[in-house]
Amino acid sequence: MPTTSTPNLLLPSFALKIGGSPLPIETEIQVISITVEDDLTLPSMFTVELTGLETQNSQISLLDDALFALGTEVEIKLGYGSQLATLIKGEITGLEPEFTINRLPSLIVRGYDRRHRLQRGRKTRTFLQKKDSDIAAQIANEGGLTAKAEDSQVTHDYLMQANQTDLEFLQARARQLQYEVVVEDKTLLFRPVGNAGSAVLTLTLEDELLEFSPRLSSLGQVSQVSVRGWSAKDKQKVLGQAKAGDEVSTMGGQSSGAKLSESAFGEGIGGISDRPVASQAEADQFAKAQFNRGVLGLITGEGICRGNTQVRAGKVIEIDGIGQRFSGLYYVTAASHRYGTRGYFTYFTVRRNAI
């Protein structure tokens, strides 16, 4: 398994491309901080702060030229020395200057990955005889994105997007399946939650890992999930069930949250009957998705490590040196990469479903 290999003897560094071209050197030296917020549930965001903007005859050229025009593509790389990795390719959506009487103006350039395009406007429409992955591909194409949608298997007779943005609708469908909606550059990914993957790196306390605060909780953990519905086609009830053993992965642990809670407190069944479920296949899929969604909340936590571009939302990392119960694999749900005068640090949130 790969371990962290941050070249500690090298200074943190960055590279910015604006509109496909490197940031001019005279502008680059004015950058004092960069933040990239990498998230699975919200459009990933970036901010670039520049200070010491020169004024001439009450004009501030950097604010008024086309370099930071709305919609301009931005690519941000962070790392150490010349070893840089791309963290985000997005678009400028806002400019936030600050003016004070005792110093030169400053500017924050803010933008998001292209998921923000799927939040523009609400729609009401229906989808007939389509799988969720087909719908994701259609919405991606409508938003000018390339789709990479993993087959969701079940075909729905009828689904409705009811006064929702495209992103709201896709995320609601993704929650039904235990899927994720992610955009990388110009590609929309509609994929299963990736907690069954291998660790991309190991963070060890007192080495690369600076702080880590995990919480283990049995609240909300059930040993079984039952989903009840009605098949109009077959004119009969449908029952989907998922229980301990249906985890997509136990992430290197011995007992999932379902097994632990049943052993400690007895059997607990989570019943779902308030969602439209029209077929046996849909009921089975929904039950398994909600079961896995629940057990992944067994352990949650937040941490801080030395800046590392491998710590990304949607990746699995290993955390070591914190005792047998809490050491192990964790799924990253959000990561904040922060470069500034204090250096480069990565803040992250994680989940785990077993110990």
Q: Report d(CA 137, CA 3) in Å as an integer.
A: 36
List Cα–Cα distances, 90 to 35, 228, 259, in angstroms. 13, 42, 42
Averaged over 78-99, what is the pLDDT?
A: 96
Q: Residue 294: pLDDT above 90?
A: yes
211-220 pLDDT, tens per residue? 999 999 999 8
324-351 pLDDT, tens per residue? 999 999 999 999 999 999 999 999 999 9
What per-residue confidence (pLDDT) applies to 206? Answer: 86
Q: Report d(CA 23, CA 16) in Å as an integer.
A: 6
The model's confidence at residue 10, banded by pLDDT at 50, 70 and 90, is confident
SS3 state of residue 263: helix
Q: Report d(CA 321, CA 122) in Å as an integer.
A: 48
Q: Report d(CA 170, CA 191) in Å as an integer.
A: 11
Q: Model-level pTM?
A: 0.92
What per-residue confidence (pLDDT) applies to 297? Answer: 96
**Do the beta carbons of residue 76 and residue 109 sit within 8 Å?**
no
User: Kind of pairing, strands 299-306 and 269-272?
Assistant: unpaired
Q: Residue 55: pLDDT above 70?
A: no
Tokens at residue 294, please?
A: 């629940």
What per-residue confidence (pLDDT) applies to 59? Answer: 56
Q: Residue 7: pLDDT above 70?
A: no
Q: Residue 2: pLDDT above 70?
A: no
148-188 pLDDT, tens per residue? 999 999 999 999 999 999 999 999 999 999 999 999 999 99
Average pLDDT, the chain: 92
Taken in order of first residue, the domains within the chain and their CATH numbers are 12-116 (2.30.300.10), 117-192 (3.55.50.10), 224-295 (no CATH)
